[in-house]
């Protein structure tokens, strides 16, 4: 009716989409786009996935494209890596990345190293994905962050999404990549809705692997995080803004290859750096960022030592009050910013 009256119609507005639905969209679109793509893992088919990420995909694509596996990470990961070596594009789901330790030989020795060891003649286009880092009330054996572990290994690409756009764009880019890619999701973000732009709703929307995003511009201090702590940084930035401190918040998005150039440019502007992560402090992602800044041109712009905010250096406790004190909170980020700014 509006068109008949000659009125100008506005572009479709952004919509709210949960991270779970964004991942489901990405899988659906890539299964439809390329018949070589298939999903396998524990309960991904008839049960629709332990976290309902693969909801509806088995009914739509059938047993050959969405495959339930036995409880044997080493076994089904090996099958997936072998399939990738003959140019299929498997998406291998771990019910939690803690269970990927059962298959780390396949991930590192088989997937990550084969392209190099074959002088480039055997690419391994495979995606390893699933929830990573702390959940809630599941204690030490289900709450570990593997960003530093897998980011350490040449031959792998490692991404760590925060928002729904991150989740969709990075997963689609990972499936299309000819290298092994580890996609570290957050279980605590699956049900969280984020605004998804019109562009991100397109079936061809991808986010380039290896490019960080500035979520908030600022002038006083640079906050760098990935996955769920990005949200904590934005909350801390809102608190600090009321006190006259403007934080620049960088969503790292990719752990390997790391977009250190974006961090360097921000540090050159703010002269201060705080890194935030849910993983352990020793040899972590924050330690790598600090080392890169120390070794590069941005070091000359620092007015104070870089500060890391990390998980506690202990296995995750089960008790909630201890769990809360083992994971970086907004107050910890605020304290770190005030420390580095000496206020």
Residues marked active site are found at: 73, 142
User: Which residue's structure tokens are 């000819």?
Assistant: 178
Contact 132, 227 (CB under 8 A): yes
> No. of H helices and E strands in the chain?
12, 14
**How far is the C-alpha of 123 from the C-alpha of 28, rounded, in Å?**
24
Length, in residues, of the chain: 343
Nearest one of 232, 214, 219, 220 to 340, comparing CA atoms: 220
CA-angle at 230, arms to 24 and 178, nearest 5°: 50
Q: Could you tell me where the DSSP H helices lie in the chain?
A: 19-33, 57-61, 73-85, 104, 113-117, 147-151, 164-176, 229-241, 260-270, 285-295, 320-324, 330-341
Note the Cα 76 to chain centre separation in Å: 23
């Amino acid at each position: 009716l509006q068109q008949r009256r000659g009125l100008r119609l506005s572009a479709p507005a952004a919509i709210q989409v949960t991270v779970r639905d964004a991942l489901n969209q990405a899988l659906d679109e890539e299964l439809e786009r390329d018949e070589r793509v298939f999903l396998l893992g524990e309960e991904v088919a008839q049960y629709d996935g332990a976290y309902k990420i693969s909801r509806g995909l088995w009914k739509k694509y059938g047993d050959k494209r969405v495959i339930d596996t036995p409880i044997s990470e080493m076994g089904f990961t090996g099958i997936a890596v072998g399939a990738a070596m003959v140019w299929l594009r498997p998406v291998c789901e771990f019910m939690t990345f803690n269970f990927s330790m059962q298959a780390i030989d396949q991930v590192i020795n088989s997937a990550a190293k084969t392209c190099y060891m074959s002088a480039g003649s055997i690419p391994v286009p495979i995606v390893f994905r699933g929830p990573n880092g702390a959940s809630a009330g599941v204690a030490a054996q289900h709450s570990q962050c593997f960003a530093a572990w897998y980011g350490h290994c040449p031959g792998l690409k490692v991404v760590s999404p925060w928002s729904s756009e991150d989740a969709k764009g990075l997963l689609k880019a990972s499936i299309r990549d000819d290298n092994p890619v580890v996609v570290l999701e957050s279980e605590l973000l699956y049900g969280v809705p984020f605004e998804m732009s019109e562009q991100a709703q397109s079936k061809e929307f991808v986010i380039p692997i290896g490019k960080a995003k500035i979520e908030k511009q600022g002038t006083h201090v640079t906050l760098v995080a990935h996955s769920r702590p990005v949200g904590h940084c934005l909350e801390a930035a809102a608190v600090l803004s009321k006190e006259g401190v403007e934080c620049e918040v960088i969503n790292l998005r990719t752990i390997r290859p790391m977009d250190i150039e974006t961090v360097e440019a921000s540090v050159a502007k703010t002269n201060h750096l705080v890194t935030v992560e849910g993983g352990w402090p020793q040899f972590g992602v924050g330690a790598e960022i600090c080392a890169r800044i120390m070794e590069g041109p941005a070091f000359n712009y620092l007015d104070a030592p870089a500060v890391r905010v990390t998980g506690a250096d202990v296995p995750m406790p089960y008790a909630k009050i201890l769990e809360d004190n083992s994971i970086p909170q907004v107050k910890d980020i605020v304290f770190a910013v005030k420390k580095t700014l000496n206020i």
